[in-house]
């Protein structure tokens, strides 16, 4: 597979930056949402309180996923800056533009990803 062109890199970088911005926004919004749930717990009955706790639990796991996603994006942007972007972190093969378009933050080629998923 060929290395990425400057144009392809620019396109992927724009996608990474856009996703990074929306994740950061989501994480900020989420934080105040889970704080609101904590406050509500003193005001509502037992059943609603369990609902609220469940919602808070979901908010926490969504938040953890967003944080993990954000971390991958930061690593991808760092790799872009150092010229390592687009190569698999495991086997060092080119990841390929089509896969990067679908998941610009991925650090693995499709072969390594499949191997990981099967473990
Ligand atoms: Zn690989």
Residue 92 lies in a domain: no
CA of 74 to the centre of ligand 1 (A): 20
pLDDT in tens, 89-119: 999 999 999 999 999 999 999 999 999 999 8
CA of 82 to the centre of ligand 1 (A): 19
Please report, for residues 14, 47, 108, the alpha-carbon distance to residue 92 in angstroms, rounded to integers and kept in the order given: 24, 53, 9
Residue 110 lies in a domain: no
Whole-number pLDDT of residue 38: 60
CA of 100 to the centre of ligand 1 (A): 13
CA of 111 to the centre of ligand 1 (A): 6
Structural domain harbouring 67 = 6-86
Whole-number pLDDT of residue 86: 95
Residue 106 lies in a domain: no
CA of 118 to the centre of ligand 1 (A): 14
Q: Which two tokens stand for residue 100?
A: 């990067």
CA of 73 to the centre of ligand 1 (A): 18
Regions in the chain scoring below 50 on pLDDT: 1
Whole-number pLDDT of residue 30: 62
> What is the dihedral sign for C-alpha 80, 83, 88, 89?
negative
Q: How many folded domains does the chain comprise?
A: 1
Residue 114 lies in a domain: no
Whole-number pLDDT of residue 40: 59
CA of 93 to the centre of ligand 1 (A): 6
Whole-number pLDDT of residue 33: 58
| Pair 93, 4: CB distance under 8 Å | no
Residue 91 lies in a domain: no
Residue 49 lies in a domain: yes
CA of 85 to the centre of ligand 1 (A): 13
């Amino acid at each position: 597979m060929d290395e990425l062109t400057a144009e392809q890199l620019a396109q992927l970088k724009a996608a990474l930056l856009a996703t990074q911005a929306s994740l950061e926004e989501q994480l900020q919004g989420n934080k105040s949402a889970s704080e609101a749930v904590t406050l509500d717990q003193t005001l509502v009955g037992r059943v609603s309180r369990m609902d609220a706790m469940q919602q808070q639990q979901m908010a926490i796991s969504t938040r953890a996923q967003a944080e993990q996603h954000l971390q991958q994006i930061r690593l991808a942007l760092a790799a872009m800056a150092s010229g390592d972007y687009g190569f698999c972190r495991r086997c060092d093969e080119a990841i390929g533009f089509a896969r990067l378009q679908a998941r610009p933050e991925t650090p693995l080629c499709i072969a390594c990803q499949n191997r990981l998923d099967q473990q």
